[in-house]
A and B are shown apart, each in its own frame.
Chain A
Amino acid sequence: MADKAMGFDDVVGRLRSGMTIGIGGWGSRRKPMALVRAILRSDLDDLTVVSYGGPDVGMLCAAGKVRRLVFAFVSLDSIPLEPHFRNARESGSIECTELDEGMVLLGLQAAAWRVPFLPSRVGLGSDLFRVNPELRTVRSPYPSRDLEGVDGEELVAVPALALDAALCHLNRADARGNAQFLGPDPYFDDLMLEAADAGYVSCERIVDTSELAREGCVHTLRVNRLFVDGVVEAPNGAHPTSCDPDYGRDEAFQKDYAASGKNAEAWEGFRAEWLDLDEAAYQEQLARR
């Protein structure tokens, strides 16, 4: 029986510079921040990052880890605009593939189902075609149901977003890779894992498989071990983002983080204080804060 429990460095050791990495969560909610911090400590770079973006994106951009960002938005929720993401875009330090947030879903789903694209109306007429010259449309081979005599409707061919690896943080998991969300929203974590060649889940607590059904109803068992290659126990591992119902967002910390987007000196200060230390030291320092 496969035991997939591992440490942060084991996950980082399986990643390579230049990879395309999907990051779960949404905005500043249930982000795999402990895994992101492990990447920040590593010498990985040149990454393509796919994310419903929050501070994961901001920190990776600020640390120079990102070559290309695939996104529909990046936000800290209670702070609408992510300062490091803005800096990276305005300075031109990253390349961008911009999408509608529904296209991100379709792209992940296409990759998960191993088809090269999924059709959608989303994006027609918008400047997504101006900023993504490689985006293509496709003509339907079928008549349109709601329009008499219309054949060959043109739709956007939303390209598959195949990931080399996906990183997600869930509330509970077992050591075999089954994982559970206990908050109100699964976000897109299961799709991220299914779209990836390798999936890594951090969780608040690793429990026995038999415990999972006691923690929440069967609908919360959204991630199964077919799509997971490694499990890391990371208590408070989504900090400073929310991880309902285990804890909410650390708004005070997030404010300090956002202030580090002011200039290079502020970022270096934040980095030295909070990111140039291992996860255990980070959590200890946080507990003293």
Chain B
Amino acid sequence: MTSSRATRAEVCAAAVADCFGGDGETLANPIGTIPMVGGRLARATTEPDLMMTDGEAALIADHEAFAWPDGPTVEAWNPYRRMFDVVWSGRRHVMMGATQVDRYGNQNIGALGPDPRRPQVALLGFRGAPGNTINDTTSYWVPNHSPKVFVAEVDLVCGIGYDRAAALGPVAARFHETRRVVSNLGVFDFETPDHHMRLRSVHPGVTVDEVVAVTGFELARPDEVPESRSPSEDELRLLREVIDPEGRREREVPDPG
């Protein structure tokens, strides 16, 4: 089983895991199914010191993503209020969703339409996005890449991107880092001179033209766009047998075949 080709969801999970590379003893807070799977994969391989939540009020030491046959091993109490202590001290890397994300990494989860005080579509609200992005490293997960999500400018800036950080200046924005965006089609970063979003890699089976066609702004890109890496044999075994044996990842991003 583990020798077979990696599915799209598994490539996404490996890309998510790579986002947490080098984070060390940080609270990795991946929100969503594949972010959770990818975060656990990072902890089970290259980043053993990451801390992760059970989605409620505890930090869990076990590597398994969703099932703890003998009950979870709790290593710390982390009620909602405690999360602000972690976030504001700069010890978290969150991977949030984004209803819209733009070319400088601004994120919107609050409202769609030109007037956010009378939204055409009301969403969740700002939630913790302003505090996350001004204090900590942030990445985003987009399971369904489309020009409605990847927009030139978001309708409402909840999580701040690099143009907003630059306008604040180096003092106010010194803890801001938007590291990566992982979608079902590719991996994106902001490692360009003006931090304009760059196509970092395309997932196996996806062409650059396909990504360009469903992105609502011009992406920076190298002359040769690399292919996203496939998980190793060992990572595939972890994903399939330990972290997500029920295959939840495949329901979030079905394999195109």
* Contacts from A to B (Cβ < 8 Å): 26, 52, 71-75, 80-81, 85-86, 89-90, 92, 96, 98-103, 105, 120-128, 130-131, 144, 146-147, 150, 153-154, 184-188
A101 with B128, Cβ < 8 A, contacts A124-B172, A144-B171 known:
yes
Chain B residues within 8 Å of A185, by CB: 56-57, 79-80
Please determine whether A122 and B122 come into contact, CB atoms closer than 8 angstroms: no
Please determine whether B120 and A90 come into contact, CB atoms closer than 8 angstroms: yes
* Contacts from B to A (Cβ < 8 Å): 56-58, 77, 79-81, 84, 87-88, 110-111, 116-131, 133-135, 156-160, 164-165, 167-168, 171-176
Please determine whether B157 and A126 come into contact, CB atoms closer than 8 angstroms: yes
Chain B residues within 8 Å of A26, by CB: 80
Chain B residues within 8 Å of A86, by CB: 121-122
Chain A residues within 8 Å of B122, by CB: 81, 85-86, 89-90
Tell me whether chain B's interface is mostly helix, strand or loop, or mixed. loop
Please determine whether B165 and A105 come into contact, CB atoms closer than 8 angstroms: no
Q: How many A-B residue contacts, CB cutoff 8 Å?
A: 137
Tell me whether chain A's interface is mostly helix, strand or loop, or mixed. loop
Cα of A100 to Cα of B160 in the assembled complex, Å: 13
Chain B residues within 8 Å of A131, by CB: 116-117, 156
From B111, B127, B129, give the contact of A89 (CB < 8 A): B111
From A89, A102, A146, give the contact of B131 (CB < 8 A): A102
Please determine whether A126 and B58 come into contact, CB atoms closer than 8 angstroms: no
Distance to closest chain B CB from A143 (angstroms): 11
Distance to closest chain B CB from A200 (angstroms): 21
Distance to closest chain A CB from B87 (angstroms): 7
Please determine whether B130 and A122 come into contact, CB atoms closer than 8 angstroms: yes
Extra contacts, 11 of them, besides A121-B172, A188-B81 (Cβ < 8 A), are: A74-B124, A86-B121, A98-B126, A100-B131, A101-B131, A102-B131, A120-B88, A122-B130, A126-B160, A127-B116, A187-B79
> Nearest residue in B to A27 (C-beta to C-beta)?
B80
Distance to closest chain B CB from A192 (angstroms): 12
Cα of A236 to Cα of B249 in the assembled complex, Å: 36
A99 with B128, Cβ < 8 A, contacts A89-B111, A153-B171 known:
no
Chain B residues within 8 Å of A126, by CB: 126, 129-130, 133-134, 157-160, 164
A72 with B125, Cβ < 8 A, contacts A125-B168, A125-B173, A154-B172 known:
yes
Please determine whether A89 and B88 come into contact, CB atoms closer than 8 angstroms: no
Cα of A185 to Cα of B58 in the assembled complex, Å: 9
Chain A residues within 8 Å of B131, by CB: 100-103, 120-123
Cα of A6 to Cα of B156 in the assembled complex, Å: 45
Chain A CB within 10 Å, residue with most, of B122, B124, B131: B131
Please determine whether B171 and A150 come into contact, CB atoms closer than 8 angstroms: yes
Chain B residues within 8 Å of A122, by CB: 88, 130-131, 134-135
Chain A residues within 8 Å of B168, by CB: 124-125
Chain B CB within 10 Å, residue with most, of A101, A105, A125: A125
A130 with B116, Cβ < 8 A, contacts A124-B134, A150-B171, A185-B56 known:
yes
Distance to closest chain B CB from A264 (angstroms): 17
